[in-house]
Amino acid sequence: MRTTTKSLANALRVLNTRMLAAASFAFLLFAFGQSKAQEKPELDFLLGTWHIPQMNLYETWEMAENGEGYSGKAVARLSEGERLFETFEVHRVDGQWVYTVQVQGQEAVDFDITEWSDGRVVFENPEHDLPSRITYTIDPGGSNVRLEGSEGDEQIEYNYDYIPESGAAADAMEASNTYAHISIGTEDLAANVAFYKKLGFKMLAQDNAPWPWVLLSDGAVNVQLNMDGMTYFGVSVFGQKAARKRAEQAKAAGAIPMMELSSPAPNTIFVDPDSIFGLGFIAFDIPHAMPKKGNEGKLGAFGEIAIPVTHYDSAKAWYGMVGYKSTGDNTVPYPWGIVSDGAINLGLHQSTHFDKPALTYFSSNAPERIEALQAEGVEVQNAIPGAGNGPIQNGVATSPDGWPVFIFQGDF
């Protein structure tokens, strides 16, 4: 549940390399349909700040100082301030209007305007590998951009969201920028990485400072493994403003932090009443995106982190204090219910059928998925006591550190 500026810096270096390959994420639109490149583009509607959720970057557009054209920058907003990634401008070059982007530490790259119409503009530089072609599509509430390689077979697509200056809309945008992943303290990083890879997870980032860690995703949920000398299972919530606000609201509601750190970033850690699940609010923006809701991984759709609790009602009250709202109560086959903060669902189960938090997946063909895992050498046991022999309908795989992963038949 802890991370560091060094770890973040490594992720940002990876992102910077990707941004060099992508070369630019600027917005351009011409108001009068396709015309000659020497006609000045009218882009006043782009003035302000835009957010790229997939990378947690922010682009700000301004009028050029000379009153002609536009200039701007793309930054990551970190706890210690802004980190500049690129600058860009729309200006005249030898009588032609061009878009020029310069990634930090790299040479500037120019793109020619090849076509445009209402809500669409295309820039091309055939001598640049990726992108050689940039297509922007604009609408009143946001933007979409597609970057294509020189052969047209490589494509990257991003969405842009407008950031209101203040008020309720800004608060809503702030909340939508919150990122969360599951954090697991492990004693054997290599063995656990290999285990999760067999379950369909792929590596997103890694570092050895201040301790070895790896961030993985199966397309349905992100998991970070930390070999930091501790054993734990929980959720880390990131956001320069949103996480800080969540922590303050939890304390105001009566939740008592187990730990509060100020360096390398404000980090407030809470532990549940049963002392088996942790929740960390870390006040900086992280350059990764959460998988889209509804995505399926190799095990199916991610439903919840199933958490065994001693007393359902008291557990639900505690999770309410730290920002998880109940979606309803159930009494069969035991007291249980789902609580959610809108990012990750937690299932509270007053049950003795399991004793550790568990990633829980659902699908309509769980037996086939389980059989495929077993064929690949993953040990899967029956998750339902007394289910009998035959193909496993509801299974559980266990990580080398002993954390269960449930694979259930049915819908969440």
pLDDT tens digits, one per residue of 349-365: 999 999 999 999 999 99
- Place 21 in a pLDDT band, splitting at 50, 70 and 90: very low
pLDDT at residue 174 is higher than 90: no
pLDDT band at 80 (very low <50, low <70, confident <90, very high): low
The yes-or-no verdict on residue 399 having pLDDT over 60 is: yes
Q: Calculate what percentage of the chain has a pLDDT beyond 90.
A: 47
Residues 223-228 have a mean pLDDT of 96
**pLDDT level of residue 128 (50, 70, 90 thresholds):** confident
Q: How far is CA 375 from CA 198, 249, 261, in A?
A: 11, 48, 45
Average pLDDT score over residue span 15-28: 33
What gap in Å lies between CA 338 and CA 330, rounded to an integer?
9
Confidence of residue 177 (pLDDT cuts 50, 70, 90): low
In terms of DSSP bridges, do strands 70-78 and 81-93 run parallel, antiparallel, or are they unpaired?
antiparallel
Q: How many CA atoms lie within 13 A of 54 on its CB side?
A: 12
What does DSSP assign to residue 141? T
What is the per-residue pLDDT for 166? 45
**Paired strand residues for 250:** none
Lowest model confidence (mean pLDDT) among 145-154, 357-366, 387-396: 145-154
Confidence at residue 183, expressed as pLDDT on a 0 to 100 scale: 97
89-103, 137-151, 232-246: least confident range: 137-151
Omega of the bond leading into 131 within 30 degrees of 0 (cis): yes
DSSP letter for 249, please.
H
Q: How far apart, in whole angstroms, are the C-alpha atoms of residue 96 and residue 123?
A: 13
**pLDDT of the residue at 118:** 65
Q: What is the pLDDT at residue 290?
A: 83
**Per-residue pLDDT, 287:** 67
Whether residue 187 has pLDDT greater than 90: yes
Average pLDDT, the chain: 81
pLDDT tier, 155 (very low <50, low <70, confident <90, very high otherwise): low
Question: What residue spans in the chain does CATH classification 3.10.180.10 cover?
Answer: 175-282, 296-409
For residue 121, pLDDT beyond 50: yes
What is the predicted pLDDT for the residue at 59? 84
Among the CATH numbers 3.10.180.10, 3.40.50.720, 3.20.20.140, 3.10.290.10, which is that of 296-409?
3.10.180.10
122: closest CA among 138, 142, 109, 103? 138
Q: 61-91 burial by CB neighbour count: b if 16+ within 10 A, else e?
A: beeeeeeebbbbbbbbbbbeeebebbbbbbb
Residue pair 409/391 in contact by the 8 Å Cβ criterion: no
The H or E element spanning position 303 is strand 300-308
User: 85-99, 170-184, 215-229, 358-372: lowest mean pLDDT where?
Assistant: 170-184
Q: In the structure encoding, which two tokens stand for residue 197, read together?
A: 């890879």
The average pLDDT across 57-84 equals 81
Quick one: CATH architecture of 175-282? Roll (3.10)
At 85-94, the pLDDT tens digits run 899 998 888 8
40 or 83, greater pLDDT = 83
pLDDT at 171 over 70: no
End-to-end CA distance of the chain: 26
Q: Which residue has the higher pLDDT, 115 or 112?
A: 112
Return the pLDDT at 170: 46
